[in-house]
Chains A and B, each alone.
Chain A
Amino acid sequence: MIGLAALLLPGVLAQAPDAADATTAAPEVAGAASGQAPETLWAGAEQAALKQDFTTAAAQYRQIIGQGVVNADVYYNLGNMLYRQQQWAGAILAWRRAARLDPRDPDVEANLVFARRKVKEALTPEREAPWFAPWQGFLSPGEGQWLGMGLAGLGLAVLGLRRRGGATAPSAEGAAGLAAAAVAAGLLCWGGGWQAAHAEPGGVVLAQETRLTSDLSGGVELFTLHAGAEVRWLDEAGDRVLIGLPDGRKGWMAAQDVGRIDPFAPFPALP
């Protein structure tokens, strides 16, 4: 078991996701350049929102994100400010990012319903989770990984206590089984969270209208999407992205016309 733990730890350390992303994914340096702390920007955004100055409030929330603070509440408020400016696509993108960080927040879901009514293609996506960890649809990737490591740690602790009590204790067999099950469940849970953290979460069309083609370099124009359409991200090559819709349609479009739902990515400029 010590061998197992010794094998596990370096692997976990090597594969722990997003730590670097969280600190490096902050190319929007406007907030950093302004030198204001996130708390100051948060308070300023709130004051601006109370004065109905939604543009300033949205800019300050974007500055907070630009400083590397990846927080569901910030994205939620940014979505509200964009919605007030009738930037439906931007609001959907911000709320989808908030939902990825906090998938059980009912306020985000409620607001998304309003925004989806405003857009031309209300393509509501299904909750996506790895096939081996369906519960991951209700957990954020970080939660899945913490829960998994907690379970695995609990299993190791039970094994350690069993050894201290002696392998011939009456409940030793049951404890060993329980510990093995906890470690296995923990690894599965952690794997689900890791997979969800590294899976491409999809995107939201930001351009007012974008035409999708059958081929990377052109081909036949297949269909048109409008701002706010929520799409799956299937592939990308250069400045083109292959996206998929819930009804099975696929097409290539310009990468600049779609915003990624990945909350660690910079928040894109809105047209």
Chain B
Amino acid sequence: MGMSALVWVAQALAASVSMQVERTDLVEGQTAALQLVVTDGTVTGVPELRAPEGLQIRYRSQSVQSFMVNFKTSTSVVYQYDLMALQPGSYTIGPFTVQSGSGALPVAPVKVAVRPREAQGALDRVQATLQQEAWAGQVLVYRMQFQTDRNMVSAQWTPPDLTGFAPESSIQPETAESQVMQEGKKITVEDLYYPIRAQTPGTHTVPGGVLQGQFVVSSPTAQRRRQPLFGLDRFGDVSAEIFSSAPIPVTVKPLPPGAPPGFSGLIGRFTIQVTPSAKTVPVGGTVTLDIRIRGDAPLNGVRLPALEGQGWRVYDDQPTWQAALVKGKIEAEAVFKRAIVPQAPGPLVIPATSFTSFDPETGAWKEVVAAPITLDVTGEAASVTLNSYGEAPPPQVDAIGEDILPMRTEARLARAWTGAMSWVMLLPGAGLLAAGALPGLRARLADRSRRSAPTEERPDFSRLPADPERRLAELDRILRAAIARRLGCTAEAVHKEQLPALGELAAEAEAIYRAMEAARYRGDGIDEARLKRLVDALALGAR
């Protein structure tokens, strides 16, 4: 018995992994929930589940559950995934091995069948395009297009997992939606343009991208039932479907040997334009050259060769680069600013500005060149002395403090000063409030206790005897005592004939007097509350 209990406990604490699929019979384009449950094991990060081609698994979230087994707490981490059926067929997911703190944990395989999609939209079509030859380092645009004649509410793209390529981070992906008429039907066209950079030479297969679309589903009866309110109920019920594009083979060629020394990795077609801010400049003045390089590939990091020359100086500013997708094509621009300060009069020839790139269409190195620029420098040569500005005003120089403020030498290095102890600010006020309220409170309590104590004037009706006869006698005694106090005589001296002397209470006293006699001789009940009210009224008048 003891041994089997030990076995149960050990089983309860052993780490294990299980995989469950919401349903194993799927339709092409359908998504099912997949759970990986790790019990009593520690897994670093999210377990990566590789799906066979035709399926896709995407991590969604995780949660933790704790439960008691044999008086021991077990903890399960549940990893939630989306299992997407992309192509019809029979598949086996797994087996896998999940690495945990207690070693490798095996995961049993799960079989899934995917049936072909039933025709929904006659014109649903998904396709991906990518040029099938590229050079290593070249940036390409992967285009995925989806067409449908159904009412699509939203589209969510998942780009393909890339091998031999990498997403180009300097350009944001672009999505576009348009509508065209085809055979009298309105066709919605969704486009994704996704920039990628070819990295490794060789032949690669870019797998299909995935689009998850949400479509309006409404039966004729549902349409009749639902009356649109101000057109707000446009979408109705929706269903999600998944479409994937076919894989594309791409051959990535290495760049030819013999790259020129100035080549910085630019692959594409580029132009260069140099514009001086002025053609005429005095000695010591400044002309700014605006140099713009434009092309169909990102220009990030490109640098111009240094300019050197006799009789002038050059100062480079920080260049700016930008690149974006415009209607699926890359448009990139780099802007350089160069300040030229001539030091001698006469014509000044700024040499040609150039850089080296690789043209992917011709497969050859190319020198992109801007023509030299000639400036007319006027005035005298700058003197070496500082006091020789002559009549011309000296150039304005703005001195800008370009340094941070100095460090501090004194500090009160107390521990953290937080609001945690701020409640002490309440104490003086609370003390004063308590001190102010205490006398009144004490008086009120004393008054309450005085009023609540039973006296002859205010007899305690709650402590009357239970026996009817004794109770009636006690009520008679209380009533007589109250009348006697009011009339200024003894209780024994009270007679019925004296009641009119009670004034406005006389009628009520006589009525109660009669009621008490009736109770005494006929056994009738008596209204004790009425009697109490009379006693209170008599006591009030007697005071």
Complex interface: chain B residues within 8 A of A217 (CB): 46, 58-59
Contact of B422 among A73, A74, A190, A239 (CB under 8 A): A190
Contact of B59 among A9, A161, A216, A221 (CB under 8 A): A216
Contact check, A12 vs B423: say whether CB atoms are below 8 A apart.
Answer: yes
Shortest A189–chain B CB gap in Å is: 10
Q: B194: nearest residue on chain A (CB-CB)?
A: A220
Complex interface: chain A residues within 8 A of B402 (CB): 114
Shortest A158–chain B CB gap in Å is: 8
Beta-carbon contacts of B408-437 to A below 8 Å, as 1s and 0s?
A: 111111111111111111111111111111
Contact of B423 among A141, A149, A160, A163 (CB under 8 A): A149
Interface hit among B6-14, B108-116, B165-173, B259-267: B165-173
Q: Is B208 an interface residue (CB 8 A)?
A: no
Contact check, A16 vs B440: say whether CB atoms are below 8 A apart.
Answer: no
Contact check, A70 vs B422: say whether CB atoms are below 8 A apart.
Answer: no
User: How far is B225's CA from A48's CA once the two chains are assembled, in angstroms?
Assistant: 81
Contact of A146 among B405, B410, B425, B431 (CB under 8 A): B425
Contact check, A77 vs B419: say whether CB atoms are below 8 A apart.
Answer: no
Beta-carbon contacts of A80-110 to B below 8 Å, as 1s and 0s?
A: 1101000000000000000000000001001
Q: B170: nearest residue on chain A (CB-CB)?
A: A224
Interface hit among A18-26, A127-135, A200-208, A227-235: A18-26
Complex interface: chain A residues within 8 A of B422 (CB): 12, 16, 142, 145-146, 148-150, 190, 193
Contact check, B413 vs A160: say whether CB atoms are below 8 A apart.
Answer: no
Contact check, A22 vs B172: say whether CB atoms are below 8 A apart.
Answer: no
Q: Is A49 an interface residue (CB 8 A)?
A: yes
Complex interface: chain B residues within 8 A of A8 (CB): 426
Complex interface: chain B residues within 8 A of A264 (CB): 416
Contact check, A71 vs B413: say whether CB atoms are below 8 A apart.
Answer: yes
Contact of B426 among A9, A107, A115, A161 (CB under 8 A): A9
User: How far is B426's CA from A80's CA once the two chains are assembled, in angstroms?
Assistant: 39
Complex interface: chain A residues within 8 A of B317 (CB): none
Interface of chain A residues 233 through 271 with chain B (CB within 8 A): 238-239, 264
Complex interface: chain B residues within 8 A of A114 (CB): 402-404
CB-CB under 8 A for A69 and B167, given A13-B423, A150-B425, A222-B172: no
CB-CB under 8 A for A71 and B435, given A18-B420, A146-B425, A221-B167: no
Determine which residue in B170, B414, B424, B429 has the highest number of CB atoms from chain A within 10 A of its CB, and name it.
B429
Q: Is B407 an interface residue (CB 8 A)?
A: yes
User: How far is B435's CA from A52's CA once the two chains are assembled, in angstroms?
Assistant: 61
Contact of B429 among A19, A154, A190, A194 (CB under 8 A): A154
Q: A73: nearest residue on chain B (CB-CB)?
A: B411
Q: Is A188 an interface residue (CB 8 A)?
A: no
User: How far is B418's CA from A68's CA once the two chains are assembled, in angstroms?
Assistant: 12
Complex interface: chain B residues within 8 A of A220 (CB): 157, 159, 167, 173, 194
User: How far is B45's CA from A38's CA once the two chains are assembled, in angstroms?
Assistant: 39
Contact of A80 among B406, B413, B417 (CB under 8 A): B406
Contact check, A77 vs B408: say whether CB atoms are below 8 A apart.
Answer: yes
Complex interface: chain B residues within 8 A of A73 (CB): 408, 410-412
* Leading 8 A-B pairs by shortest Cβ distance: A145-B419, A156-B429, A160-B432, A163-B436, A19-B420, A22-B416, A73-B411, A160-B433
B residues near A, CB below 8 A? 45-46, 58-59, 61, 157-159, 167, 169-170, 172-173, 194, 402-437, 440
7 A–B contacts from the bound complex (CB under 8 Å): A8-B426, A9-B430, A17-B419, A69-B414, A145-B419, A154-B429, A157-B433
A residues near B, CB below 8 A? 1-2, 5, 8-9, 12-13, 16-19, 21-23, 38-39, 42, 46, 49, 64, 68-71, 73-74, 76-77, 80-81, 83, 107, 110-111, 114-115, 141-146, 148-150, 152-164, 190, 193-194, 197, 211, 216-217, 219-224, 238-239, 264
- Name 20 extra pairs, CB < 8 A, besides A19-B418, A154-B429: A2-B437, A18-B419, A19-B421, A22-B418, A39-B413, A64-B413, A80-B404, A83-B404, A114-B402, A142-B422, A148-B422, A152-B426, A159-B433, A160-B433, A160-B436, A161-B432, A163-B436, A217-B58, A238-B45, A264-B416
